[in-house]
Amino acid sequence: MPEVIVLATGGTIASRHDDSGAAVPADAGATLVRTAGAVPGIDVTVRDVTATDSSALTLDQLDEIRAAVTDALGDPDVAGVVVTHGTDTMEETSLLVDLTHADPRPVVFTGAQHPADSPAADGPANLAEAIAVAADPAYRGLGVLLSFAGQVQTVRGLAKLSTVAPQPFAGGLPVAELEGTAPHRLLTKHAPIGDVRVDVVASYPGADGALVDAAVAAGARGIVLAGTGSGNTTVALAEAVRRALDAGVVVVVSTRIASGPVDAAYGGGGGAADLVAAGALLSRRLRPGQARIVLLALLAAGVGPRWIGAYLGR
């Protein structure tokens, strides 16, 4: 019988309402698996990594989750791994694992939009599906996957786009449309990201450079811009970006827009074309949260801006 290891990390899938009415992680992994019910023909083992709402995870905890996945795959008898995780930052943790995931065995992230004690709880069905995907040889060799609300997609490009929709995620490649394309693993070796600082700074009408300057002063080695439109900022923010680049900080341009590529299409002093001319890198497809994970992982691994730009430029 194929064996699947479930790594529980918290999130809404494990949450119940406390006396104040707020949902907080409460259920251990064993409870989640029991509630999901037996998946015929699959032997499930559970490990609790943490019980944290994913909005509150630290970078050290992201490193721990990544290490727990590696550890689980250390057993050659394991067919695949499921990670139960909050949806708020699912796109970040799953991409971190994906960046170093060379093993063909599936690593499948899942979670829930409704807490475990809600009448509409979607966690049990999502977990049962994720376990089946992790054990299914058809999903081997596709990198880290998200299984959620009946859909399986790759995690590069993933973003949570709705706070309430049963399927909140978009941006990955649906596995059904992959046609055997193997994902690109970025790093051969993971270096812990816990001690690296990368900040996200938003652009908006009237934005000045104060927050970029503050990030540099706080020791940021990288800054991700959540630009407007296809990656544009204000003139004042672009001037601060030039100062940051002069100080040796890697600056990546992403966008606050949900879909479409970032492009060096506009000038005028603060446009993406001006930022690229100054030495900033474009994150063509990854939204700010995932672009930040790439920066963290590559800076931690000692990878230079040329490779960071090559990965983010695809």
Ligand X SMILES: NC(=O)C[C@H](N)C(=O)O
Q: Which residues are catalytic?
A: 12
Nearest-approach distance from CB 78 to ligand X, in angstroms: 25
Identified binder of ligand X from the candidate list 80, 86, 209, 289, rule CB under 6 A? 86
Nearest-approach distance from CB 16 to ligand X, in angstroms: 13
Please, which residues bridge with residue 5 across strands? 45, 81
Q: Of 87 and 233, which CB lies nearer to ligand X in the complex structure?
A: 87
Q: Is 55 one of the binding residues for ligand X (CB under 6 A)?
A: yes
Q: Of 171 and 222, which CB lies nearer to ligand X in the complex structure?
A: 171
Contact 197, 221 (CB under 8 A): yes
Element of type H or E holding 135:
helix 123-135
Q: Is 88 one of the binding residues for ligand X (CB under 6 A)?
A: yes
To which residue do tokens 């170093």 refer?
100
Nearest-approach distance from CB 51 to ligand X, in angstroms: 10
In the shown chain, the binding pattern of residues 184 to 203 toward ligand X, with x for contact by CB under 6 A and - for none, equals: --------------------
Identified binder of ligand X from the candidate list 4, 5, 11, 133, rule CB under 6 A? 11
Q: Of 111 and 209, which CB lies nearer to ligand X in the complex structure?
A: 111
Which residue's Cβ lies closest to ligand X? Answer: 86
Nearest-approach distance from CB 312 to ligand X, in angstroms: 25
Q: Of 20 and 188, which CB lies nearer to ligand X in the complex structure?
A: 20
Cα–Cα dist 80/7, whole Å: 11
Contact 241, 275 (CB under 8 A): yes
Identified binder of ligand X from the candidate list 12, 84, 232, 254, rule CB under 6 A? 12
Provide the token pair at 163.
């706070």
Cα–Cα dist 82/72, whole Å: 10
Q: Is 54 one of the binding residues for ligand X (CB under 6 A)?
A: yes
Cα–Cα dist 158/259, whole Å: 11
Q: Of 87 and 254, which CB lies nearer to ligand X in the complex structure?
A: 87
Residue count, binding to ligand X (CB under 6 A) = 11
The amino acid occupying position 75 is D
Nearest-approach distance from CB 7 to ligand X, in angstroms: 15
Q: Angle formed by the axes of helices 288-300 and 90-99, to 10°? A: 40
Contact 294, 156 (CB under 8 A): no
Nearest-approach distance from CB 281 to ligand X, in angstroms: 28
Q: Of 35 and 213, which CB lies nearer to ligand X in the complex structure?
A: 35
> SS3 of 245, please?
helix
Q: State which of positions 103-162 bind ligand X (CB under 6 A).
A: 111-113
Q: For 301-312, give one letter per residue: b (16+ CB within 10 A) or e.
A: bebebeebbebb
Helices then strands (H, E): number in the chain? 9, 14
**Residues engaged in binding ligand X (CB under 6 A):** 11-12, 53-55, 86-88, 111-113
